[in-house]
Amino acid sequence: MKKIKIILSLIIVSLFMISTANAQKITVKTGNLEFFKEVSELNIEYDFSDFGVGKFKTEEAYIEEKKADYNEDEPGKGDKWEEEWHADKEETYQPKFEQLFNLVMLGKETGILAGSYTNAEYTMILKTTFLEPGFNIGISQKNAYINVEIVFVKTEDPDNPLAIVTMNKVPGHGVFGANFDTGYRIGEAYAKAGKELANYVWKKVLK
């Protein structure tokens, strides 16, 4: 039943997904991805513990300034913004990445599903290392983008990576300019990261 729900959600996502961007450059820094030939379920973990945001070296510094600015404009607005900023990680970015990764794997008929499969033999750790939120104020806009490091391990042996992959400046933007919401823009970057990573694995390992 769980797999059926996942497949149905992926089909729905595909109906709304339009992408004309070029393929994203992916670098395998260490190891290789041959273990994907043995994968049916892939566990995913997300690491948002240490990354820069825009001109800020740390997420904490970015949040501190934005929160103060919003609260000065309207008491409590900054606190609400901070809650939404953190909630987007689990409610938007993670599902976007998984949906598009799985959509490609489903379309290529690989038999691979990725998600919260803690008993799976292999785990993918998606670590965000930089995040540009971008902006859209109507007359001017800037796309969001993310840098990520992806570490693949055996679930029972997380200290010995099988491979480390990097993706830099993965863009996020809305269809027909529908990108006024920061979480939406950033979410599209995670969607593209999932899609491009899955395409890479299929072409380089599974095809």
pLDDT at 41: 98
pLDDT in tens, 108-132: 999 999 999 999 999 999 999 999 9
Output the pTM of the full model: 0.87
Q: Which CATH class is domain 25-206?
A: alpha beta
Stretch 76-103: mean pLDDT: 97
The more confidently predicted of residues 18 and 10 is 10
Return d(Cα 18, Cα 126) in angstroms, integer. 24
Tokens 């070296």 — which residue?
A: 57
Q: Is the pLDDT of residue 20 over 50?
A: no
Return d(Cα 107, Cα 121) in angstroms, integer. 23
207: buried, middle or exposed (CB in 10 Å: 19+, 13-18, 0-12)?
exposed
Return d(Cα 65, Cα 78) in angstroms, integer. 9
Stretch 155-169: mean pLDDT: 97
pLDDT in tens, 147-156: 999 999 999 9
At 16, the pLDDT band (50, 70, 90 cuts) reads very low
Residue closest to 111 by CA, chosen among 202, 22, 9:
202
